[in-house]
Amino acid sequence: MKKLAFLILIFLLPDVHAGEVRVAVAANFLATLKALAPEYEAQSGHKLIISGASSGKLYAHILNGAPYDVLLSADKFYPEKLVEVDKAVANSRFTYAVGRLVLWSRDKQPIDRARLSDPDIKRIAIANTRTAPYGTAAQHVLQKIGLWSTLKDKLVRGESIGQTFQFVASGNAQLGFIALSQVLNPKNHFNRTSYWLVPQDHYPLLEQEAVLLTYGKNNPNARNFLEFLKSDVVRDAIRQYGYL
Amino acid sequence: MDLLSPVVLTLKLAAVTTLILLLISTPLAWWLAHSKSKWAAIVETLVALPLVLPPTVLGFYLLIVLGANGVIGGPWADLTGSALTFTFSGLVIASVIYSLPFVVQPLQNSFVAVGRKPLEVALLLRASRLDAFFSVILPLSMRGYITAAVLGFTHTMGEFGVVLMVGGSIPGETQVLSIAIYEHVEVLDYGAAHVLSAGLLIFTFIVLLMVYVINRRFPTNAH
Burial class (CB in 10 A: 0-12, 13-18, 19+), A244: middle
Chain B residues inside the 8 Å CB shell of A30:
183, 186-187
Distances (CA, A) of A60 to A54, A78, B98, B166, B221: 10, 10, 22, 11, 49
Instruction: Assess contact for A83 and A90: CB atoms under 8 A.
Output: yes
**pLDDT on residue A58:** 94
The helix/strand/coil state of A18 is coil
**pLDDT on residue A16:** 38
- Name the DSSP letter for residue B134: I
Q: Which of A34, A53, A165 sits opposite B169 (nearest CB)?
A: A53
List alpha helices for A23-147, DSSP H: 27-44, 55-63, 77-84, 133-144
Please determine, for residue B223, whether its predicted confidence score (pLDDT) is greater than 50. no
Q: Which of B68, B168, B187 sits opposite A51 (nearest CB)?
A: B168
List alpha helices for chain A, DSSP H: 2-16, 27-44, 55-63, 77-84, 133-144, 148-151, 161-169, 180-184, 220-230, 232-240
CA nearest to A54 within chain B: B186
Q: How far is B85 from chain A (nearest CA, A)?
A: 7
Q: Which residues 57-116 of B are in CB contact (within 8 Å) with A?
A: 63, 67-68, 82-83, 85-86
The helix/strand/coil state of A87 is coil
Model confidence over B4-19: pLDDT tens digits?
999 999 999 999 999 9
Q: Which residues 151-170 of A are in CB contact (within 8 Å) with B?
A: 160, 162-163, 165-166, 169
Cβ distance of B187 and A64 shorter than 8 Å = no
The mean pLDDT of B147-155, rounded to a whole number, is: 95
Can you tell me the distance from the alpha carbon of A124 to that of A154, in angstroms, rounded to the nearest whole number? 6
The mean pLDDT of B126-146, rounded to a whole number, is: 90
Higher-pLDDT residue of B1 and B171 is B171
Can you tell me the distance from the alpha carbon of B167 to that of B179, in angstroms, rounded to the nearest whole number? 9
Model confidence over A105-128: pLDDT tens digits?
999 999 999 999 999 999 999 999
Q: Identify the band that residue A97 occupies on the pLDDT scale cut at 50, 70 and 90.
A: very high
Span of A27-31, A95-99, B64-68 with lowest mean pLDDT: B64-68
**pLDDT on residue B169:** 85
**pLDDT on residue B164:** 87
Please determine, for residue A237, whether its predicted confidence score (pLDDT) is greater than 50. yes
The mean pLDDT of B130-158, rounded to a whole number, is: 92
What does residue A212 show for φ and ψ, rounded to 5 degrees? -80, 125
**pLDDT on residue B69:** 85
**pLDDT on residue B110:** 94
Span of A10-19, A129-138, B177-186 with lowest mean pLDDT: A10-19
Chain A residues inside the 8 Å CB shell of B83:
64-65
Q: Identify the band that residue B21 occupies on the pLDDT scale cut at 50, 70 and 90.
A: very high
Spatial CB neighbours of B87, under 8 Å, sequence gap ≥ 6: B173, B174
**pLDDT on residue A17:** 40
CA nearest to A58 within chain B: B168
Please determine, for residue B218, whether its predicted confidence score (pLDDT) is greater than 90. no
Please determine, for residue B39, whether its predicted confidence score (pLDDT) is greater than 60. yes
What does residue A101 show for φ and ψ, rounded to 5 degrees? -90, 135
Can you tell me the distance from the alpha carbon of B24 to that of B26, in angstroms, rounded to the nearest whole number? 6
**pLDDT on residue B10:** 96
The mean pLDDT of B176-193, rounded to a whole number, is: 91
Instruction: Assess contact for A20 and B142: CB atoms under 8 A.
Output: no
List alpha helices for B35-167, DSSP H: 39-52, 55-66, 73-80, 88-114, 117-124, 129-132, 138-140, 142-157, 161-166
Spatial CB neighbours of B70, under 8 Å, sequence gap ≥ 6: B64, B83, B84
Q: Identify the band that residue B216 occupies on the pLDDT scale cut at 50, 70 and 90.
A: confident
For B90, how many CA atoms within 13 A lie in the half-sphere containing its CB? 37
Q: Which of B83, B172, B186 sits opposite A49 (nearest CB)?
A: B172
**pLDDT on residue B219:** 61
Instruction: Assess contact for B148 and B30: CB atoms under 8 A.
Output: no
**pLDDT on residue B168:** 81
The mean pLDDT of B149-157, rounded to a whole number, is: 95
Q: How far is B156 from chain A (nearest CA, A)?
A: 21
Q: Identify the band that residue B220 occupies on the pLDDT scale cut at 50, 70 and 90.
A: low
Spatial CB neighbours of B79, under 8 Å, sequence gap ≥ 6: none
Q: Is A52 on the interface with B (CB under 8 A)?
A: yes
The mean pLDDT of A181-200, rounded to a whole number, is: 94
Spatial CB neighbours of A214, under 8 Å, sequence gap ≥ 6: A86, A87, A88, A89
Q: If you average pLDDT over every residue of chain B, what do you get?
A: 91
**pLDDT on residue A3:** 58
**pLDDT on residue A12:** 47
Instruction: Assess contact for A82 and A62: CB atoms under 8 A.
Output: yes
Q: Which of B152, B108, B138, B132 is nearest to B20 (CA)?
A: B152
Sheet holding A155-158, edge to edge: A155-158, A124-127, A175-179, A101-104, A195-197
Q: If you average pLDDT over every residue of chain A, what do you get?
A: 91
Instruction: Assess contact for B197 and A49: CB atoms under 8 A.
Output: no
Q: What is the CA radius of gyration of chain B?
A: 20
Q: How far is B23 from chain A (nearest CA, A)?
A: 30
Model confidence over B56-115: pLDDT tens digits?
999 999 988 998 888 999 999 899 888 898 899 999 999 999 999 999 999 999 999 999
**pLDDT on residue A15:** 40
Q: How far is B145 from chain A (nearest CA, A)?
A: 36
The sign of the torsion formed by the CA atoms of A149, A155, A157, A162 equals: negative
Please determine, for residue A4, whether its predicted confidence score (pLDDT) is greater than 80. no
- Top-ranked range on mean pLDDT: pick from A54-58, A70-74, A158-162, B59-63: A70-74
ipTM of the shown complex? 0.74
Distances (CA, A) of A223 to A20, A69, A88, A216: 11, 9, 13, 8
Mutate to test the interface with B, among A25, A32, A48, A61 (most CBs of B within 10 A): A61
Q: Which of A50, A163, A187 sits opposite B189 (nearest CB)?
A: A187
The mean pLDDT of A157-176, rounded to a whole number, is: 92
**pLDDT on residue B83:** 82
One-letter identity of residue B73: G
